[in-house]
Structure 1
Amino acid sequence: MTNSGQSQQAYAILDPLEVNRAGDPEFDLVFGIAANEVGQFTRAIMALERVLSVQPDNGRAKAELGRALFAVGDTKAARTLLQETKAQGVPTAVSTTIDEFLQAIDRVDAEGKSSWKAYVETGIGHDSNANSGPAGSNVAVPAFGGLVFTLTPGGVKQSTEFLAVNAGISGRHVIDPRWSLIGTGTLQTRYNRGTADQFDSIQADIGGGVSYRHERNEYSVIGQVGTYLVDNSRARDIIGMTGEWTYRFDQFRQVGTYLQLSQLSYPNQGVRDVDRTVIGTTYSHMFRDGRFVYIGGYFGQEDEQAANVPSLGHKLWGLRLGGQQAIRDNLAAFATLGYENRRYGGPDPLFLVTRKDEQVNLNIGLNWIPAPQWRVTPQIALTQVKSNVVISDYNRTIVSVMVRRDF
């Protein structure tokens, strides 16, 4: 059945028999091949190791075990087994398959070499709410007995067309098979049309750190500094670090857990300075047909640095879900969905309630690759923030088309 393309059926038949027939090399070999074909690589490894314990020269078992070890990320052991199998002398068809896996291992190993990559991108779009402002200009303020104030034009929702220009670079310098130095840098700029140009922005971030790999685990610590400018004036600075642990189950599945510690400072409003802590985890899965999905969650808090302003600090938690589906070789659709809940630490001094926010983000778009190293991304991004403080309650829709060149 495994040779006739009926691997799933073969695996379903053999799986319940393993308890009674494990140790029979003929059964274990067929079961190991079927498990490999349907992606049950851990089961395949156990079955094929049983074969080799009694038949150490079984070339087919070695080849299949090498394939399974490659799938779970043990490229060193996979290479050794596959090379041994080929040296024993195998049929041409099997030898060709082994060569393909050895080439794949070479590509994976090449990823462990020092490298760098960069990109530049530009695009245009329409933003329904460039300043994340409320829809109405008249606001009743409880601290003044409910007196109605009129917001300035800059405080009310403004729509605009925009031009975005971005660039980034990242690199890894391999010290040895386990230790690497890593670094990143990004620059994002946006230029709005007309009176909304007061919300033109520049964001620059650089980061660097160290990475340690051991078997299926990778640990990294990265320091980061960045600044965000609005209308050429520094609005927010950030300095911090992120520690992350990534565990790769195999070439298709991994989970990452991270801790972010940072200080956010506001040069023109020092009272808003906070210490931010976030802990989160994300699971991602690449399917054999090219589909990719991820799901994650996080929680944390922002602690205000100034005294007696609990309304400026908050606790938060959130969820993220996303995926991509190939439509054809050079075209894929993607979608991401995020939810964040924020609860502030004390009553707002103007609105006399403890602020509570719920934010939902939805992004839908396409990735089109018209030529190698080029990518065109049309997308729509929807944001909804529900808040019991009226000036923090808003909706936003951004429609854009970005063109990117990778190097």
Structure 2
Amino acid sequence: MSVLITRTRPPEIRRRWRHLPVLVLVAALGLTATSASARGDSPVERLERLNEAGDHADAFTLGQEQFEAHAGDPDFDLAFGIGALESGEPDHALLAFERVLMHDPEAPLPRLELARAHFAMGSTIAARRHFSRVLERDPPPPSAVVRRIEWFLTAIEEREAGRPAPVRDAVTRWHLGARLGHDSNVGAHTDDDVALFGVLPLQLPDPESDRFFELYGGFAHQRQTSDRRGWFLQGGLEGRGYHSERDFDRYTARLRGGPVLLGDGWRLTLPLELRHTRRDDDVRNTRATAGAEWTLRPGRPLEYTLFGQVSRVQHKPADARDVDGVAAGARVSWRPDPRLRVFGGTLAGEEHARRSRGEHFGRRYAGLQAGAGWAVDEHHRIDLRLDHLVSRHREDDPAFLDRRRDRLNRARLGWAWDPAPDWRLELSVEHADNDSSLDLYSYRRTQVTAGVRREW
């Protein structure tokens, strides 16, 4: 399939593809092609045929052989860059696309491919900047291109949130990491005096601090199956072991995935998640969640997100705490620069006890969230998040003859440094302060962690 478009400056560049993402972009951006007969069996024509056939590794090899003779020819550089990018050589692709843009800075496809090359190399700031330039073209790019870029922005947001994300479609990204930390209140115990039925003093353990070690690993996979839909799957295992408070050692398994629908400037994600946690003292809980998250980008730099979920939580052996829940919320994000994101939002929900003897565990809650993320450069990032949550339980607690009302404030500050490709060092501090009408549930807790993660 060949699609032609008039260029403002020579030479004209052919973009012909067979696989879907490239066909979408080529057809949508409308790129110029000179006739095959005019080219004959030139190195450019051979490169293009190899790319069309999906033989990108062979195209990359041929491009290297012809590099000295043809580098600087935009047609050659584009075809060579495509072969390099699709065969896992984004550094060569990046230089090739930059040479094309030196001839025509306004050419949309080379800039789009340059953004993909930056993304594959982990340079999310540069990738977002070039994706934005394509989206801000006048006239705007066709819908198919907007939806394709939305898919990449989704993966960039995963990385910005500190979660591993595949560098290419249909590729599984694995990770393994370790953390050392200190927990100021391992069991989230209160330091207040507590009286049963309001008159009988309870002898409770004092808050205990302890060091801990974490080991975690997992995978992330995503695939765009058409220009309007795709899916993702993530999973992981994590273990935390304390130095002294061994009863609170815990192990967590998580699996999350679901479809993703893409539109003109919007994205709808429908995740399903299953999480199981077990402590050494045999306390277990399982959470199953089905959710929906709709993100709208009406115009830069603002974006809006609506989200909701239903959940079921099961506790063992204390099954009286089992609840079914529903929650919904909204969030607004502002990106004045590709390196900076500021956000704020609200959420509300309720949980219903599944057993009559646990009615007092049902509750209603509402809260606010705010934060900011700043990429100092491509290798350093600082994130701040603040949460405020107010909850009121549905029934009086039978042990205290009063209804529980909580006010939770939580703050987290994190720093990440990528010293080399596929490596990340992390440092974070998180503080939680819960003020409850029932003193048993009031606590203060601070956790400090430092860790390293390797991806491949």
Q: Same fold (TM over 0.5)?
A: yes
In structure 2, C-alpha distance between the alignment counterparts of 1:92 and 1:176, rounded to whole Å: 28
CA distance in structure 2 between the aligned counterparts of 1:262 and 1:77, rounded to whole angstroms: 43
For the pair 1:80 / 2:63, whether they are aligned, the reply is no
Structure 2 Cα separation of the partners of residues 365 and 240 of structure 1: 27
CA contact (8 A) 2:101 2:111 kept: no
Q: Deviations over 1:317-355 (max 9, x none)?
A: 111111122334422322111111111112111222211
Partner of 1:352: 401
Q: Which moved more, 1:393-402 or 1:307-316?
A: 307-316
Q: Residues 189-230 of structure 1: CA distance to partner in whole angstroms, max 9, x if unpaired? A: 110011x11101111111232222122222222222221111
Distance 1:281 1:183 in 2: 24
Aligned to 1:166: 216
- Residues 47-99 of structure 1 show CA distances to partners (whole Å, capped at 9, x for unaligned) of xxxxxxxxx99959xxxxxxxxxxxxxx9599526759x99xxx996613426
Query: How big is the shift at 1:254?
Result: 2.8
Contact 1:123–1:401 under 8 Å retained in 2: yes
Contact conserved, 1:312 with 1:344, CA < 8 A, in 2?
yes
Residue 284 (structure 2) aligns with: 235
SS of alignment partner, residue 237 of structure 2: strand
Q: 1:43 matched to which residue of 2?
A: none
Distance 1:254 1:170, change over 3 A: farther
User: Structure 2 CA distance, aligned partners of 1:203 and 1:92?
Assistant: 48
Partner SS state of residue 104, structure 2: helix
The DSSP-based 3-state class of the residue aligned with 2:350 is strand
In structure 2, what is the equivalent of residue 23 of structure 1?
none
Say if 2:346 and 2:369, in contact at 8 Å, map to a contact too. Answer: yes
**Structure 1 position 221 matched with structure 2 position 276:** no
CA distance in 2, matches of 1:106, 1:121: 26
Cα distance change of structure 1 residues 219 and 125 upon mapping to structure 2, 3 Å threshold: same
Q: What per-residue deviation string (whole Å, max 9, x for no partner) do you get for residues 170-194 of structure 1?
A: 2123322222232111222110011
User: Paired residue for 1:334, among 373, 380, 383?
Assistant: 383
Q: Are 1:162 and 1:190, in contact at CA under 8 Å, matched by a contact in 2? A: yes
Find the counterpart in structure 2 of residue 363 from structure 1.
Answer: 412
The 5 A counterparts of 1:80-159 are 80=29, 95-98=104-107, 100-104=110-114, 109=148, 113-136=169-192, 138-141=193-196, 143=197, 146-151=199-204, 153=205, 156-159=206-209
Q: CA deviation at 1:158?
A: 1.2
Distance in 2 (CA, whole Å) between partners of 1:211 and 1:389 is 43
CA–CA distance in structure 1, aligned partners of residues 176 and 330 of structure 2: 29
Distance in 2 (alpha carbons) for counterparts of 1:256 and 1:308: 38
CA distance in 2, matches of 1:362, 1:396: 11
**1:294-309 residue pairs with structure 2 within 5 A?**
294-307=343-356, 309=358
1:325 match: 374
Write the distance in 2 (CA, Å) between the matches of 1:221 and 1:204: 20
- For 2:375 and 2:228, the matched residues in 1 are separated by 34
Letter in 2 for 1:190: R
Instruction: Please provide the CA RMSD for this pair.
Output: 3.0
Give the counterpart letter for 1:344 in structure 2: H
How far apart, in 2, do the equivalents of 1:222 and 1:258 lie? Answer: 11
Offset from partner CA, 1:234-254 (integer Å, 9 cap, x none): 521112211222223357543
Residues 373 and 250 of structure 1: CA distance in aligned 2, closer, same or farther (over 3 Å): farther
1:360 deviates by 0.7
Code of the residue aligned with 1:131 in structure 2: it is: G
Q: Which has the higher strand share?
A: 1
Report the CA distance shift for 1:92/1:336 in structure 2 as closer, same or farther (over 3 A): closer
SS at match of 2:194: strand
Give 3-state SS (helix, strand or coil) of 1:371's partner. Answer: coil
Q: Please give the secondary structure, in 2, of the residue aligned with 1:286.
A: strand
Q: Flag the 1:250–1:134 CA change in 2: closer, same or farther, 3 A.
A: same
Q: Which moved more, 1:353-362 or 1:283-292?
A: 283-292
| Residues 227 and 234 in structure 1, CA contact (< 8 A), matched pair in contact too | no
Q: Distance in 2 between matches of 1:92 and 1:224?
A: 43
Residue 447 of structure 2 corresponds to residue 393 of structure 1: no
SS of equivalent residue, structure 1 residue 249: strand
CA displacement at 1:118 relative to structure 2 = 2.8
In 2: Cα distance, 1:335 partner to 1:224 partner: 25
**1:361: Cα distance to partner?**
0.8
One-letter identity of the residue aligned with 1:95:
D
Q: CA deviation at 1:126?
A: 0.8
Distance 2:415 2:388 in 1: 22
4+ runs deviating over 6 angstroms:
none
Question: In structure 1, how many angstroms separate the alpha carbons of the residues matched to 2:177 and 2:300?
Answer: 29
- CA distance in 1: counterparts of 2:358 and 2:249, whole angstroms: 29
Q: Which amino acid aligns with 2:202?
A: F
The alignment partner of 1:233 has SS state of coil
Tell me how far apart the structure 2 counterparts of residues 388 and 213 of structure 1 sit (CA, whole Å).
Answer: 45
1:207 aligns with 2:260: no
Unaligned runs of 5+ in 1: 1-55, 61-74
Amino acid at match of 1:191: G
Contact 1:201 1:232 in 2 (8 A): no
Aligned length: 327
Give 5+ residue unaligned stretches, structure 2: 10-23, 34-73, 76-99, 118-130, 132-147, 153-168
**Residue identity opposite 2:113 in structure 1:** Q
Deviation at 1:292, TM superposition (A): 1.9
Stretch moving more, 120-129 or 215-224: 215-224
Query: Which residue of 2 is the match for residue 403 of structure 1?
Result: 452
